[in-house]
């Protein structure tokens, strides 16, 4: 399939300021040379510890952040440096849902009003048709049609996420960046929201970039998975491949943390990650994972391992090549 979105050598840096004149004294390299492709209809899972830059990729793609360099192509159109006005026609096609939908919902407006706004702002429907559209949206996300006259605070966390999703799909987007949409929810509710996202994907032919800090949610919904560490993608591949034979030591550590091991299995040869995540302002030389990698050798400290262009690629000088023994997920 043709790529829907291409990210080429994306860098998104944030200035670090200090002193009374807040001079720029350095940069947080939140995203540091990331390339990836998202094909129509797929779900690319993006996983990594908090602070590794995955949200910044998502926010850069929908241009809530301005990339420092590199290119973002949506349907072959370069959107990297478009202004707000230039972006408006693309906006509807490219949506984002957040971990905390409440923060993006005006608490003083009724849900029906919140869901009407996109139709009005982007002239997506005739005024007389809007109530029916809003009713249909509520139905699509599994809320009662009549619930539109309530305010956001009258809904539970899971229901609010449904409202956030309803708002995103009201634009009839092609790509939705899901930035940790279930991380703040109870486990039982997480499954419901993931199922809803799956159903909507099939019904509305949506494409997702699904961001999470743990492999748990990503494993259900993704067709491919990209693993991030300190601003870079360290491994990317089909979900089955990645689970069957994780090549990068960091991926293996993330996968070993899933499912949560029982106490007996805990001592049975699992690799444990050591140390803290280094600062994205001063990332380690060579392989950025070398300060924590159980397999580190001299070369790793000086030479940066490239991420190959293969369908299943890992940025490691000494990729692992033995089956993980983990159940292969469908």
- Residue 78's H or E segment, with its range, is strand 77-78
Among 12, 55, 95, 256, binds Mg ion (CB under 5 A): 55
What is the 3-state composition of the chain as percent helix, strand, coil, each rounded to the nearest 5?
35, 25, 40
Residue 249 interacts with ligand SF4 (CB under 6 A): yes or no: yes
DSSP-derived pairing of the beta strands 69-74 and 3-18:
antiparallel
In whole angstroms, the minimum distance from the beta carbon of 142 to Mg ion comes to: 26
Nearest CB to Mg ion, comparing residues 95 and 170:
95
Residue 316 interacts with ligand SF4 (CB under 6 A): yes or no: yes
Residue 229 interacts with ligand SF4 (CB under 6 A): yes or no: no
Nearest CB to Mg ion, comparing residues 180 and 235:
180
Distances in whole angstroms, Cα of residue 18 to Cα of each of 12, 22, 97, 132, 139: 20, 5, 33, 53, 50
Name the 3-class secondary structure at 127: helix
Among 61, 293, 307, 313, binds ligand SF4 (CB under 6 A): 293
Stretch that binds Mg ion, among 12-20, 53-61, 140-148, 245-253 (CB under 5 A): 53-61
Which residue do the tokens 């949560």 mark?
260
Helical H segments across the chain, by residue range: 54-61, 84-91, 111-121, 130-140, 157-170, 187-204, 215-221, 239-244, 249-256, 263-266, 298-302
Nearest CB to ligand SF4, comparing residues 216 and 249:
249
**With left for phi above 0 and alpha for psi between -120 and 50, is residue 172 left, alpha or beta?**
left
Stretch that binds ligand SF4, among 34-42, 70-78, 206-214, 311-319 (CB under 6 A): 311-319
In whole angstroms, the minimum distance from the beta carbon of 318 to ligand SF4 comes to: 4
Nearest CB to ligand SF4, comparing residues 45 and 249:
249
Which residue do the tokens 């993931």 mark?
194
Give which of Mg ion, ligand SF4, none residue 55 binds (C-beta under 5 to 8 Å, depending on kind).
Mg ion
Distances in whole angstroms, Cα of residue 79 to Cα of each of 5, 72, 139, 178, 290: 10, 6, 33, 19, 35
Nearest CB to ligand SF4, comparing residues 58 and 280:
280
Stretch that binds ligand SF4, among 60-68, 83-91, 205-213, 286-294 (CB under 6 A): 286-294
Among 125, 184, 296, 326, binds ligand SF4 (CB under 6 A): 296
Chain positions contacting ligand SF4, by CB under 6 A: 248-249, 287, 289-290, 293, 295-296, 300, 305, 316-318
Q: Which residues of the chain form contacts with Mg ion (CB under 5 A)?
A: 55
């Amino acid at each position: 399939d043709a790529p829907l979105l291409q990210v080429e050598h994306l860098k998104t840096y944030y200035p670090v300021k200090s002193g009374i004149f807040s001079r720029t004294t350095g940069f947080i390299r939140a995203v540091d040379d990331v390339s990836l492709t998202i094909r129509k209809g797929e779900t690319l899972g993006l996983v990594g510890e908090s602070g590794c830059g995955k949200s910044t990729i998502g926010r850069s793609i929908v241009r809530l952040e301005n990339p420092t360099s590199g290119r973002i192509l949506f349907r072959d159109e370069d959107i990297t440096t478009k202004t707000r006005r230039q972006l408006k026609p693309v906006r509807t096609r490219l949506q984002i849902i957040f971990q905390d939908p409440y923060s993006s919902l005006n608490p003083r407006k009724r849900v029906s009003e919140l869901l009407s706004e996109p139709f009005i702002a982007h002239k997506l429907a005739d005024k007389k048709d809007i109530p029916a559209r809003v009713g249909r949206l509520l139905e699509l996300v599994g809320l009662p049609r009549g619930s539109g006259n309530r305010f956001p605070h009258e809904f539970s966390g899971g229901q609010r996420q449904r409202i956030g999703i309803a708002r995103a799909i009201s634009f009839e987007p092609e790509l939705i960046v899901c930035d940790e949409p279930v991380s703040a929810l109870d486990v039982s509710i997480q499954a419901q929201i993931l199922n809803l996202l799956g159903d909507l994907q099939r019904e509305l032919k949506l494409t997702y970039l699904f961001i999470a800090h743990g492999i748990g949610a990503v494993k259900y919904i993704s067709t491919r998975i990209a693993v991030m560490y300190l601003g870079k993608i360290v491994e990317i591949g089909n979900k089955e491949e990645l689970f069957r034979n994780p090549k990068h030591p960091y991926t293996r550590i993330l996968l070993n943390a899933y499912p949560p091991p029982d106490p007996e299995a805990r001592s049975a040869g699992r690799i444990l990650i050591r140390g803290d995540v280094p600062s994205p302002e001063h990332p380690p030389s060579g392989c950025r994972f070398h300060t924590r990698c159980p397999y580190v050798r001299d070369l790793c400290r000086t030479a940066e391992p490239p991420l190959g262009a293969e369908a299943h690629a890992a940025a490691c000088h000494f990729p692992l090549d033995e089956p993980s023994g983990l159940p292969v997920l469908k």
